[in-house]
Structure 1
Amino acid sequence: MPSSPARPETAGKEPHQRASETERSYCALGYRIRANVALEGLPAAEPASACGDPVSLRFVREDVAWPPVDVGATFHPECDLAEPLQANALVLADRGARVWDWYTAFDDLPMTRVRCDLAERTITMSCGENLDRFRVSYHLVSPVLPYWARRDGRLGLHAAVIAVDGTAVVILGDKSMGKSTLCAAFLKRGHAIWSDDIAVITPDLHSVYRGSGMLRTSEATARVIFGDDVLLRKCSFSKHVMDTGPASVSGETEAIPIAAIFHLSPFSEDPSSRIIRLHDPLARMAVLRNLGSTAFPAPRPSAQANSSRRRRWPAPYRSSR
């Protein structure tokens, strides 16, 4: 059993990539992503695979204006458009029910914009310089694709997911509650990270889609669990990141059944234990409360999302007692 996950190179060492004519396919959060750039941390889809709903990802090298020329958008969080966007800040420009933009400036790079169009099923990333593969992948994994899933009417939870014997253990919790630390501990014991920081549930509410193999954690935590020789991505725009490898769960499995749901609570709420296994009705309440997580902006309601609320809650949301 390996004592530590695959060790990627330090961020920034790899050359910036250009868009190519070669199309690559990846599976993540219930979508088949067809990209004109290489991604990492996501499982590759086989050419004959039919996994997920198709979404097109394109990187285009072009200058992005800030503030936007067309200011008919609602910005989250609210910001002073007369001021330059701070380095590594992230702003959502909502242009309606089907189109929105993300704006950010990575370190000393020019402004980056991600245009998301639900009607066309396209995600277009634009920047005046070629972005390295890590930044493209990281930005897609958080927050672009999770927010897309919520706006697309899917049940997306702020949670970590661990694959144990072919089933999913979902760990709900607010920021800094220790979800990634638990993932690292399970990884050390030979289990796989099914999805870090986001859990997108299948329409029947029984399973969870595969997400990214990137695990965000603090340097101190990683060294305690894996030892001093563990290599991490050092990002100025994020916590340290370790790539656990998209092949940690083999095969073309797109989703695995949920075996258990846990909730991480602060010590002040439950002095005896920070991790609680949820049963009915606590599971339902925790899931509904999690939908309002500040980790991702609240999406607009959709007909598909409303219809999901009327479905009968299956196990493990119901008590088996």
Structure 2
Amino acid sequence: MRELTASSDHVPVSFEVQLEVFRHQAAGLSRIRRWNGACDVSVAQHCVQACDLASPETAGYAVIHDIEEFDTGDITTPVKNTMRALGVWQRFEDEIVLPIRRRFTLLAGLKWPWPEGVIGEIHEIDQKLKATEYRDCVDLSLVRLSAGDLAEPYSDYMLPWSATKAENIFMERVRNVLPSMAMGDAGDVIEHSNCSGRLAEGVTYKDHELIADAHAAIAALMNEARQTKLRLSELEQAFKTRQEQYLRTSDGMKKMFPEQREAALQFRAQHSADLAHQSGMRNRLAFIECEIAHWQERIALARA
């Protein structure tokens, strides 16, 4: 807790240090799911989408508007309301949330306190994104809200991103919309050289970093694909070796002794679960292929 409440007025002057601080937050936020885990949308994805929907003047604030949730987690509205009723939310916000947000606002080169117009715009976007997440991505067996609790959602269907995608796009927005990050982009193009470590002609440091991130993402995805294919192969082999008598028809099961019938029912239940698992892994493989194609396209665009 000391790390959260310590004074954070000092803003690192080194661009590399500032960038690393934001990378650290991006990695954490991309792995924290919204709605206390009942939604597959990460906090990082949510911040990126808010940034993309905001006006140019508000975009920088929008991308960091939940930056403190790396430390506090995603606190749901019912919990916040309970904390307000108990009289503890204001102190939590004043002593935990706002100091963290202030630190990153100054680190981003933005104004503190936030302008009222910015706060209002982000609140409106936040509520509409919340409604969209509830419609498209929230597990309704875990969360139920009435229509009166939600704003009008956005018309576009929302799909959750992988943690890798959310982290990388979050960092892309950080570099593009935060004033303090602009200084690190100056420069920037290095002429072509065959020497090791030099960038290709017309490729900026920013593009070089994006390409490196994309290669890392592709490597991680390919490793996941290999592991998933291995598990699929093992599961398919198990299907082939299973005894047919445990998959008999209902009429056949009526002729069994009770203990045989119980074993057969358990086996059929496991078989059904394995089939569902197989389907899920195949869907995941298809998703991984799309993600790899996405990153390959980004590499091609960066090199163009």
Tell me if both proteins adopt one fold, taking TM over 0.5 as the criterion: no
Higher share of residues assigned helix = 2
The alignment's TM-score, normalised by the length of structure 1, stands at: 0.23
